[in-house]
């Protein structure tokens, strides 16, 4: 009887499509019409921060066994932590030669680093030219000045005070240490050497996308065929397509300071793609002149970009690394030049597709482009409209792929 009883239990478990261990520590729900589960987790404490606050990673995986999601989560957590330590420019990490180690040894000695950091620096150097000079990881000497003013400014703003602004003379003095001529990369010895003590590197405009690409590749190697990784909400990779064949749905957030999540439109894409957003509503402070100074610096002026664009979101079938570099390019360039750049990029890369959405103040967008006006948006988790007066300008290849631009 005991053997028959055990056999009966095994038959029940087999017919029900699960095993006694088919559980997960994370939130999972069955996907209608498929044999998959959708599992979701938000990870913190992964070694990344901004303004003293931790940057989180959102991970969604579609799996046939809930228990397999736990292994994917462990991989995501460990890989992001490892990569963020390698790309860290602010903190020493025991046993790791990272970007801070390279900058600290400027004018002193070459530093042996992980291959992933070598590869990212080589990509960044290449994109200094491809971006028409708008994305430049060698801008560290100028960005360091803005970082210090911004940190002090944010502290003063919290106390109700306006804050100092760096003057042009100070920024121009630092600008003489910009350029890849100061950087020696030995891809064979895996060393990086900054030849002048005043020069430094800054990968803040591309590292999140690159880390997300590497983690996504690891997930696919481990067997994940469908999922979503989002690093801080601004760099994301969609892996494969959803098992129920529905589109991936991406909300376009209103660039409101204070970070309320007000969605204006939704983009629907079916298969693997990456996205990146850049905007003036993140990492900013209010200067002594009453203006807000954000963290995206124009290498031509040495000041935060001020061209009427509040944010740009890039969607591409290329990598999140490229998406992040492109989002800086299309945010920093004057709009007409950015729009022409996008069209030329698609012509030059027929095997890839690049889409973009720019956000301007309400009815302040340049005339003659595909646009939609918004007076309200929808707060996350709510159906009530919220004031959000903006105009969105779309690349024409997005027609029919959003809720509003049809």
Alpha-carbon dihedral angle through residues 67, 68, 70, 74, given to the nearest 10 degrees: 160
Using a 10 angstrom Cβ sphere, with 0-12 exposed, 13-18 middle and 19 or more buried, the burial of residue 115 is exposed
pLDDT computed for residue 380 by the predictor: 77
Grouping H, G, I as helix, E, B as strand and the rest as coil, residue 174 is helix
Closest CA to 371 of 380, 379, 361: 361
* Alpha-carbon span 328 to 323, nearest angstrom: 9
Structure tokens at 224: 């994940």
Calculate the average pLDDT of the chain.
93
- Phi/psi for 7 (5° steps) reads -60, -40
* pLDDT at 53 exceeding the cut of 80: no
Kindly write down the DSSP assignment for every residue of 201-252, as one continuous string: ---TTTHHHHHHHHHHHHHHHTT--SEEEEETTTEEEEES--TT-PPEEEEE
Whether the predicted pLDDT of 26 surpasses 80: yes
pTM: 0.92
Q: What are phi and psi of 27, to 5 degrees?
A: -75, 125
Residues 6+ apart with CB under 8 A from 162: 156, 286, 287, 288, 289, 290
Q: What is the pLDDT of residues 267-300, one digit of tens each?
A: 999 999 999 999 999 899 999 999 999 999 999 9
Residue 183: both structure tokens together: 């950087």
**325 phi/psi in degrees, rounded to 5:** -65, -40
Please give the Cα distance from 82 to 114 (Å, whole number).
Answer: 11
Q: Residue 318 to residues 165, 271, 292: CA-CA distances in angstroms?
A: 38, 12, 33
How many Å apart are CA 58 and CA 76, to the nearest integer?
A: 10
Tell me whether strands 262-269 and 273-279 are parallel, antiparallel or unpaired.
unpaired
pLDDT value of residue 5: 44
pLDDT digits (tens, 9 = 90+) for 138-181: 999 999 999 999 999 999 999 999 999 999 999 999 999 999 99
Q: Lowest mean pLDDT: which of 51-55, 198-202, 250-254? A: 51-55
Say how far apart CA 167 and CA 322 lie, in whole Å: 32
Please name each of the domains of the chain with its CATH number. 247-406 (3.10.520.10)
Instruction: Give the 3-state secondary structure of residue 83.
Output: helix
- Per 3-state DSSP, what percentage of the chain is helix, strand, and coil (rounded to 5)? 35, 25, 40
Instruction: Give the distance, in angstroms, between the CA of residue 136 and the centroid of all CA atoms in the same chain.
Output: 17
Listed residue (329, 311, 334, 315) closest to 391, CA to CA: 311
Give the span between the Cα atoms of 80 and 63, in whole angstroms.
21
Cα torsion for 134, 135, 141, 146, to the nearest 10°? 80
Q: Is the model's pLDDT at 341 over the cut of 70?
A: yes
């Amino acid at each position: 009887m005991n053997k028959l009883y055990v056999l009966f239990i095994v038959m029940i478990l087999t017919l029900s499509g699960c095993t006694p261990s088919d559980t997960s520590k994370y939130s999972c729900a069955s996907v209608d019409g498929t044999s998959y589960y959708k599992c979701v987790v938000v990870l913190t404490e992964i070694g990344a921060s901004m303004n003293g606050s931790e940057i989180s990673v959102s991970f969604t995986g579609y799996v046939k066994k809930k228990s397999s999601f736990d292994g994917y989560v462990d991989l995501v957590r460990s890989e992001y932590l490892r990569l963020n330590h390698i790309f860290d420019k602010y903190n020493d990490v025991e046993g790791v030669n990272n970007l801070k180690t390279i900058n600290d040894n400027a004018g002193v000695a070459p530093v042996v680093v992980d291959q992933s950091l070598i590869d990212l620096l080589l990509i960044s150097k290449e994109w200094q030219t491809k971006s028409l000079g708008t994305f430049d990881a060698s801008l560290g000497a100028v960005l360091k000045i803005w970082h210090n003013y911004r940190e002090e400014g944010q502290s003063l703003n919290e106390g109700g005070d306006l804050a100092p602004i760096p003057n042009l003379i100070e920024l121009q003095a630092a600008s003489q240490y910009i350029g890849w001529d100061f950087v020696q990369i030995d891809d064979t010895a895996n060393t990086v050497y900054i030849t002048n003590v005043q020069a430094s590197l800054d990968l803040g405009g591309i590292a999140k996308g690159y880390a997300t690409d590497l983690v996504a590749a690891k997930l696919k190697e481990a067997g994940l065929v469908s999922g979503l990784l989002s690093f801080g909400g601004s760099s994301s990779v969609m892996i494969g397509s959803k098992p129920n064949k529905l589109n991936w749905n991406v909300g376009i957030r209103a660039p409101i300071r204070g970070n309320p999540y007000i969605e204006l439109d939704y983009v629907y894409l079916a298969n693997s793609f990456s996205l990146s957003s850049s905007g003036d509503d993140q990492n900013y402070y209010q200067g002594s002149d009453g203006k807000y100074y954000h963290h995206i610096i124009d290498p031509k002026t040495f000041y935060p970009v001020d061209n009427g664009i509040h944010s740009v979101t890039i969607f591409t079938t290329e990598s999140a690394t490229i998406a992040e570099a492109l989002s800086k390019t299309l945010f920093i360039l004057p709009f007409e030049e950015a729009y022409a750049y996008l069209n030329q990029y698609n012509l030059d890369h027929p095997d890839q597709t690049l889409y973009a959405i720019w956000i301007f103040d309400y009815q302040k967008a340049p005339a003659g482009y595909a646009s939609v006006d918004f007076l309200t948006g929808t707060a996350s988790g709510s159906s009530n409209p919220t004031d959000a007066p903006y105009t969105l300008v779309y690349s024409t290849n997005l027609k029919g792929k959003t809720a509003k631009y049809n």
